[in-house]
Amino acid sequence: MSGEELATAGHPQMVRQRLRLWLKLLKATKLVEATIRERLREEYDTTLPRFDVLAALYRFDEGLKMSELSAALRVSNGNVTGIVERLALDGLVLRVPVEGDKRATLVRLSKKGRDRFSVLADAHAGWVGAILEDLPPSDCERMIAILDAVGHSPKLTGKVSKEND
Amino acid sequence: MSGEELATAGHPQMVRQRLRLWLKLLKATKLVEATIRERLREEYDTTLPRFDVLAALYRFDEGLKMSELSAALRVSNGNVTGIVERLALDGLVLRVPVEGDKRATLVRLSKKGRDRFSVLADAHAGWVGAILEDLPPSDCERMIAILDAVGHSPKLTGKVSKEND
DNA sequence: GCATGAAATTTCATGCTTGAAATTATTGGA
DNA sequence: TCCAATAATTTCAAGCATGAAATTTCATGC
């Protein structure tokens, strides 16, 4: 397996084009992300990681275990610990013990958290809709299809990629 | 200007599609980025921010001032201070005083830094080429064009976006 | 000359992120 | 039973990232 990426070195202009695409992809994504982070901060005094946690929990009324949450967000366990800690201080999430397993904790949205998230989610959707306003639906669709293919590439960090998106 | 993003709320399915695209874009980008970070760490014991700084400096033999560097990378001044500090400890960059302005510092690659970066850049290009291996050149080209349009959207954080990419 | 405002940079507090180590609890054999 | 492996989580140190405040230097008008 080692050195396998050099196999494509025989097509230098293709590699160059893909590199160009990657750099543009990264740049565009970071630009949009920075915009969203800034608005979350300025208009709602919150952050993207907190929003992500709320979004994940919003889909599960019963709540999620810490490990399920970190798996859903694809971040480390330790990371989620801190974010949930801060959300709990704000009263947006609740940590309830799991019946019959003293190790685990279930995290779920409080009423306040649910209300808060629905406001944030609306704003977020509006921002994204506006940022991508000039993108023709056909381009949008095309890009979604291409990205699906990229996401399912087997070259990414061993196996990966369930069918959920 | 306020509430302008709600103007598109009249096309809910378009907003939904754009939101879908954004989530996929973010997911795919993060996946590729995570792969690159992991390999930089495991195979070269370095990080993406360090790589980015080296890459920026590589294009300027004369070096860049700290402020030029942070502008080029679109990150804060304070951020660059720390990264350059660590690169200097590794002997990869040099900080030289600017003739006639005791406030400013010029940062440039050392010989070691230049050699190091050319190795890293090759590996990086190989990884990206391999990850996007299955992407047909036509899709690649199409996507580059679409992303250019997105990047030039006026809705992104006030003005923005020089012609460089 | 000299004060005052602007410019270049660093420092700082806060938060996010990781991977590794530590902690506590559960489980399944010997 | 009990003990070793596993599982769920937290803690920790390091680094990255930000925006705000502080520092030093420069430039300009008076």
Angle at B74 between CA A157 and CA B41, to 5 degrees: 30
Q: How far is the CA of B42 from the C1' of D12 (A)?
A: 21
End-to-end CA distance of chain B: 29
Three-state SS at A94 = strand
- Helical H runs in B11-107? 12-44, 48-58, 66-73, 77-89
Minimum-distance CB partner of B125 among A19, A130, A131: A19
pLDDT in tens, B10-44: 578 888 999 999 999 999 999 999 999 999 999 99
Instruction: Output the pLDDT for position B129.
Output: 94
pLDDT in tens, A45-57: 999 999 999 999 9
pLDDT at residue B164 greater than cutoff 50: no
Please state the ipTM of this predicted complex. 0.88
Instruction: Please state, for a pLDDT cut of 90, what percent of chain A lies above it.
Output: 79
pLDDT in tens, B93-143: 999 999 999 999 999 999 999 999 999 999 999 999 999 999 999 999 999
Three-state SS at A107 = strand
Instruction: Output the pLDDT for position B10.
Output: 52
Q: A109 has which bridge partners?
A: A93
Instruction: Output the pLDDT for position A2.
Output: 44
- Binary contact (B144, A33; C-beta < 8 A): no
Which residues in chain B touch residue A160, judged by CB atoms under 8 angstroms apart? 31
Three-state SS at B95 = strand
Angle between helices A12-44 and A48-58 (to 10 degrees): 90
Dihedral sign of CA atoms A128, B29, B114, B42 in order: positive
Contacts of B58 (CB under 8 A, 6+ apart): B109, B114, B117, B118, B121
CA distance B107 to B97: 9
CA distance A59 to B70: 39
DSSP state of B66: H
CA distances from B102 to B73, B79, B97 (A): 24, 21, 7
Nearest to B32 by CA among A72, A161, A101, A93: A161
pLDDT in tens, A111-164: 999 999 999 999 999 999 999 998 999 999 999 999 988 877 666 645 444 344
Tokens 């990884």 sit at which residue?
B127
Report the nucleotide nearest the CA of residue A73, measured to C1': C17
- Closest residue to C25 (CA to C1') is A103
State the smallest CA–CA distance between residue A50 and chain B in angstroms: 16
Walk me through the domains of chain B, giving residue ranges and CATH numbers: 47-151 (1.10.10.10)
Mutate to test the interface with A, among B11, B147, B162 (most CBs of A within 10 A): B147
Mutate to test the interface with B, among A2, A32, A74 (most CBs of B within 10 A): A32
Return the residue of A nearest to B23 by Cα.
A165
Return the residue of A nearest to B151 by Cα.
A28
Tokens 């190989």 sit at which residue?
B126
Instruction: Output the pLDDT for position B152.
Output: 75
pLDDT in tens, B36-94: 999 999 999 999 999 999 999 999 999 999 999 999 999 999 999 999 999 999 999 99
CA distance B17 to A140: 7
